[in-house]
Structure 1
Amino acid sequence: MNHNTPVPPLSPRPVRHLSEVRRRVMTAAQLRSHGVSSSETNEQCRPGGPWQQLLPGVILLHPGPPTGEERLHAVLMYTAKERPAGVPAQPGAEQPHAPTYAEAMLTGLAALTLHGFTSAPPLMAQDKLDVLVPRLRRLRSTGCARIVRTTSLPAPQQVTGLPVAPVPRALADAVAELSDAGVVSRLLTEAVRGGHCEPAAVVRELSNAKLLSRPHVVDAVDSLLAEGRSIAEDRLYRMVREHGLPDPVWNVDLRLPGGPHLGGLDAYWPEQAVAVELDTRVPRQDEDALWSEYARKREHLERLGITVVHITPKKLRDAAEQQATVVRTALMASGDRDPAAYVVVLPR
């Protein structure tokens, strides 16, 4: 057979059940299952032939450049573990005949592009596509596929039918390959400002990847935390306004008359002695010490008869109505408590 010979039919299994991209990108094993021998595949992939080998064992069934979608499927076909018969597909891939990829998912910049990040480059501009696999998988980076290993594979999210790493993990894998401080800062800022995830989740992944020792990453994280704090405060203002809570005094310090400083609060209702504090801790080395400080302050205030409600930015984002109910309940219950100690309220 020469390269002008018509492509043999993919039989005995028909391909009309396959998605369009799976008719254009197939593994050598899949071609064999359709009746195409290895020698026939090799002949079709010769220079000038109608097919081409994109990656080891992954064949593009046309001669032109691969599309972005074809490259994504190709790297997943190269890295995915064969799924034994009868094993269910990944969650979210229940569409009939949808491609399923076991123990492999897109990560890094490619994943961020699929998640909708405008600060991530288009797929066709990315020379390498990162794929996350278990640490013990015997794979090597080659062609456009860059292997990223992990001891604990996260649950993938399905984006356009493809398994994609969650945003915090994809960010960490992208940052690991970047040295441009501006690019890193833009990606981290978009993650929070765009509502993709909370700062704590990003910092946790960066810490796990041992990236917080890099100066340009530390600077970007500081900006990220400031951005996250500002967004959380805006959500807190909106929660009070939209759920009809009485206006508190905002961003105050409490002191005992002529006594010590009791701590800063994000919102305080003096008549009811109810306080709200945003819990914006991040998983850094001093997290335990910071939590101890939170706990000491809360215990001290509650001994003085002040009810402290801790709210995380994530709860404000995902369950603002529920958090408003918690605050409203604390305000209503103030009449059933003993009067709180007198404290001095100062602007922070």
Structure 2
Amino acid sequence: MNQNTPLSARPVHAVSHRVQSAAQLRAHGVTAGQTAAQCLPGGPWQQLLPGVYLLRPGPPTPEDRVRGALLYAGRPPAGARRAVPVQPGCGFGEAMVTGLAALALYGFTSAPPVGAPHRIDVLVPRTRRLRSTRFVQVTRAADLPRPQHRLGVPLAPVERALADAVGSLTDASAVRRILTEAVRGGHCEPSSVVRQLNAAKLLGSAHVRDAVEALLVESRATAESGLYETVRVHGLPQPFWNVDLALPGGSFLGGVDAYWPREAVALQLGARSPREEGVVDSADREHLERLGITVVRVTPKQLRDSTARLSVVLRTAMMAAEDREPPAYVVVLPR
């Protein structure tokens, strides 16, 4: 058969998706020459990305773009092609969608839909020698996170996708919207967002830092309200709220969000601002516990999920105080 002879559908009858890599087509018995013939002007196929083909005419759908981006980023390195034959599976390798495209696939309404003209960010190992091209933006990582799968699509965890999205945004309001939706929607905790943004060295940007500050102020206020309600509804003793602890000689021990001096139980909420991120563990748990003080840490998510469970934890810690050695005397100071 002449290489320019149009290819019938028969050789690819087993292809399960209309977007295929060159390696997958070869695994189905389609030669490079046959693929090139199908992609001639007016032909039924088209090249979507280098080494990736859309097996129909017309513009690609958002699903086509996502699959094509993953096939492009997940193809084996050139030197490994002969040593490791590619099977006609998903062909994504270690690649995963990240950034705004991943957030859209998670269902974020604040992220633009996955479609033209928006790019698709794909996360790959740092060792991959792969260029960004067309609508695919390649992002590299030394240590890839474990992907989450939605409808067969590997996505970077929300925190990582947020960091990659924020790194591409210059509009402060857009940053605020996606961070707020991430936390309000229960996708992740504020503290984990701060850690990921800090690891990505994004908190040095004023618009990012301001957005995170506003988010954590809101999250903290909501968590504190939930904590007050927990104490009231479940009949717990009233603590000292938002205090610093110190030794009588003046040595600072750290700040806690609630302290029950009679029972020597302290509580810390896990939602602080980026400026406080370095002292989020300012009340050194081991130091306090060596002094006979029990430290209970609670996240905003735990408060949202079950105040009853928190009340049991606190009550148990208070009851256990009766069996412990008397704690060291500490000074309670208002913040």
- TM-score of the superposition, structure 1-length normalised? 0.78
Residue 144 of structure 1 pairs with residue 135 of structure 2: yes
Matches within 5 A, 1:1-348: 7-11=7-11, 14-15=13-14, 18=16, 22=17, 24-82=18-76, 84=84, 99=90, 101-237=92-228, 239-240=230-231, 244=234, 246=236, 248-249=238-239, 251-253=241-243, 265-269=256-260, 272-280=263-271, 287=278, 291=281, 293-295=282-284, 299=288, 303=291, 307-313=294-300, 315-316=302-303, 323-337=310-324
What is the CA–CA distance in structure 2 between the aligned matches of 1:282 and 1:157, rounded to whole Å? Answer: 28
Query: Which runs of no fewer than 5 residues in structure 2 stay unpaired?
Result: none
Cα deviations across residues 23-61 of structure 1 (Å, max 9, x unaligned)? x11112222332322222222212222211110111111
Return closer, same or farther for 1:290/1:277 CA change in 2, 3 Å cut-off. closer
Name the count of aligned residue pairs: 326
SS state of the match for residue 54, structure 1?
Answer: strand
Instruction: Tell me if structure 2 keeps the 8 A contact 1:251–1:267.
Output: yes
Instruction: Tell me if structure 2 keeps the 8 A contact 1:99–1:161.
Output: no
Deviation of residue 145 (structure 1)? Answer: 0.8
Letter in 1 for 2:8: P
Instruction: Tell me if structure 1 keeps the 8 A contact 2:253–2:283.
Output: no
Return closer, same or farther for 1:294/1:248 CA change in 2, 3 Å cut-off. same
Instruction: Tell me if structure 2 keeps the 8 A contact 1:262–1:297.
Output: no
What is the CA–CA distance in structure 1 between the aligned matches of 2:100 and 2:55, rounded to whole Å? Answer: 26
What is the CA–CA distance in structure 1 between the aligned matches of 2:137 and 2:245, rounded to whole Å? Answer: 56
Letter in 1 for 2:9: P
What is the alpha-carbon root mean square deviation over aligned residues? 3.8
Instruction: Tell me if structure 1 keeps the 8 A contact 2:255–2:283.
Output: no
Letter in 2 for 1:216: H
What is the CA–CA distance in structure 1 between the aligned matches of 2:86 and 2:232, rounded to whole Å? Answer: 53
Cα deviations across residues 128-176 of structure 1 (Å, max 9, x unaligned)? 1000111121211111111111111111110111010001111111111
Instruction: Tell me if structure 2 keeps the 8 A contact 1:131–1:145.
Output: yes
Instruction: Tell me if structure 1 keeps the 8 A contact 2:254–2:283.
Output: no
- TM-score of the superposition, structure 2-length normalised? 0.81
What is the CA–CA distance in structure 1 between the aligned matches of 2:29 and 2:70, rounded to whole Å? Answer: 23
Letter in 2 for 1:278: L
What is the CA–CA distance in structure 1 between the aligned matches of 2:176 and 2:306, rounded to whole Å? Answer: 28
Query: Which runs of no fewer than 5 residues in structure 1 stay unpaired?
Result: 88-96
Letter in 2 for 1:218: R
Letter in 2 for 1:75: A
Instruction: Tell me if structure 2 keeps the 8 A contact 1:252–1:346.
Output: no
Instruction: Tell me if structure 1 keeps the 8 A contact 2:149–2:155.
Output: yes
Moved more, 189-198 or 36-45: 36-45
Cα deviations across residues 53-107 of structure 1 (Å, max 9, x unaligned)? 11011111111111111110000011103495699xxxxxxxxx97352120000
